Each structure stands twice: as structure tokens, then as C-alpha cells.
Amino acid sequence: MEEEIKPQQKKPVPITPLTAKGRMIEFGMMTLGSALVAVGVYFFKFPNNFSTGGVSGLSVLLGSIFPSAVITSSLMNTVLNVIFLALGFLVLDKGFGFRTVYCTLLYTGLVQVFEWVWPLAAPLTNQKMLELFFGIFLPSLGAAILFNVSASTGGTDIIAMILRKYSGLDAGNALLLSDVLIAASALLVFDVETGLFSLLGLVLKSLMVDWALGSLNRKKAFMVVTQDPENVCKFIIDGMSRSATVWDAQGAYTKNREYVVLTVLSIHQSVLLRNHLRKTDPHAFILVTTSSEIFGKGFLSA
């Protein structure tokens, strides 16, 4: 009678909690990202009436439709974000994280502080294109930093979470449509020039966020075909405190035994490895690719 072979149960891989240093870095990144968004929105978007979608764009429109010394765009921005934050607490429950709460309150709080400390009656310069650039670049860079630590400044992102949870609607397309409508409304509320700048800013915003995310996460993936893997791995591990994966290979033409070393490095580290191999292993075959989506320990969370 054959013995029944039971498949081995794989133990779940434990999730390593962040160290105190890791938590401080993450906290610092959330603070920096929120601050960049606040600076871009208050100093460049609001004075120029750039309505590029989202809560800040809607605040610009409402601040103009209901002009008042008290009900400003900054106040509208704070009120709307707090409303969405409360809605998130009521509807999303545990899926609504501390990161979003912290970043939303910090972002809206900074905008209010800027208004009290440095009230603006007009744009900082008379160069609208320059102002549009900083009004898009700073919030996009801030949003990319927050995205890297799984955070956001709330607003319409909360609506996207609710739509994704309770309806079959494509939240991304719904938010894109709302952003286009908000930006296009500047044509009617303000003037043609401001409306066109707002629509241009909306297009640039999506491109800038993608660029910023790619730049922040950009790494170099190395595949080194060599007959001396010890030399390559020693330099990677001891010289750069990284790791690598090695597997056996065979030359298709020469039939010689080779080894393939796979590793992922920063741009600076990639230069160091390339220079090291040029000196110590000039016959190594090196394939280098650029990637901004690398998941696993030491990189992005899947």
C-alpha cells in the first residue's frame, strides 16, 4: 500500500514591522509631501485661479462664485477636505488609514497658516506660465512622494475609495471626468485665458505625477553573465550592502559554464559596479535596464 504523501504546508512569510528609523523616515516623507502640495496650491494655484481639478480646483471656483473676505479659497479647501475626511471615517471605516488623516490635516492646516502669515492679494510674479509650472510641479512632486508611502492628501481620493467600494463605476475615469469639468468651468467663472491655463495644467498634472513617480523609484537592474560570480557578489554585498541572485547558465555557442548574477541598484551604485567589473572582469557580459517598478524587500510593497 502506497504511503499517502501530503503536500507540505508553506508557512506564511512574516511581515517585518518598520523600525523606529523607518517610521521616522516615512513620517518625514509624509510631512514633506504634504508641505509641497500646500506650497504649490496656496502660492501658485490660488492667486492665479488655476482650477486644475480636485478639491483645490473646486475651492478656487467656489471662492470666486461666493466672494468674501472670510470665505476664501483656502477656507473652502479646508472645509471640503474635512467634509471628505469625515465621510471617509463614516463610510470606509478601518480601510481609512492614519496616513491619509495626517496628510490631509497637515496639508489643509498649512494652507490656512500660509493665508494668515502671508496673505496674497495678487500672484507672486506676472509670468503666468512660470506660475503654472510651479503650481503643477510642486503638488505633483508632493503627491508622488505621498504615493510612495501609501498616503494621500485626501480630497477626491476619498471619493475614489468610496466609489470603488460601493459601485461598479471606474473611479479613475469618474475622477478624471470631474477634473475636466472643474477645469473647464474656469472658462465660464473667470476668463478664457485662465480656463485654458487650467485645462493645460490638468494635462501637465497627470504627466508630471507619472514623471515624478518614475524619477523617485528609478533603479538599475543588472544581469551580469560571468565565470567569476564570487567577485561580483562580494562587491555587491560587502561594497554596497545590497544582495543578488545567482543561477547556473551555459553559453549557447561555446558551451562553457557561466553564471548569471541578478541585482538591483541605485543609479550611483550602478556606476560603481560597472567600473568595478571593467577593472576586475572585463570579459563579463552586462545587461543594464532602468526600472521604476521593483517590488519586494528593500523596494516597493507589492
**Last residue of some domain: 187, 216, 245?**
216
State residue 297's pLDDT score. 67
Do 262 and 207 fall into the same domain?
A: no
- Out of 197, 216, 235, a domain closes at 216
**166, 243: one domain:** no
The predicted-structure confidence for 45-67, as pLDDT tens digits, reads as follows: 999 999 988 888 889 888 888 87
Total domains in the chain come to: 2
In this structure, are 182 and 257 located in the same domain? no
Q: What is the pLDDT of residue 298?
A: 63
| Same domain for 58 and 128 | yes
pLDDT, residue 260, reads 94
Contacting residues for 242 by C-beta, under 8 A, at least 6 apart: 236, 263, 264, 265, 269, 298
Please write the tens of the pLDDT for every residue from 227-254. 999 999 999 999 888 889 999 999 898 8
The structure's pTM equals 0.72
Q: Which residue has the cell 488609514?
A: 97
| Mean pLDDT, the chain, integer | 83
Contact 135, 181 (CB under 8 A): no
Domain annotation covers residue 1: no
CA angle at 53 for the pair 49 and 56, rounded to the nearest 5°: 60
Domain of 138 in residue numbering reads as: 20-216
- Give the pLDDT mean for 3-14: 46
In a domain, 240, yes or no: yes
Q: Given this model, what pLDDT does residue 167 score?
A: 65
pLDDT tens by residue, 174-195: 677 778 888 888 898 898 999 9
Of the three residues 192, 216, 240, the one that is the final residue of a domain is 216
- pLDDT for the residue numbered 241: 86
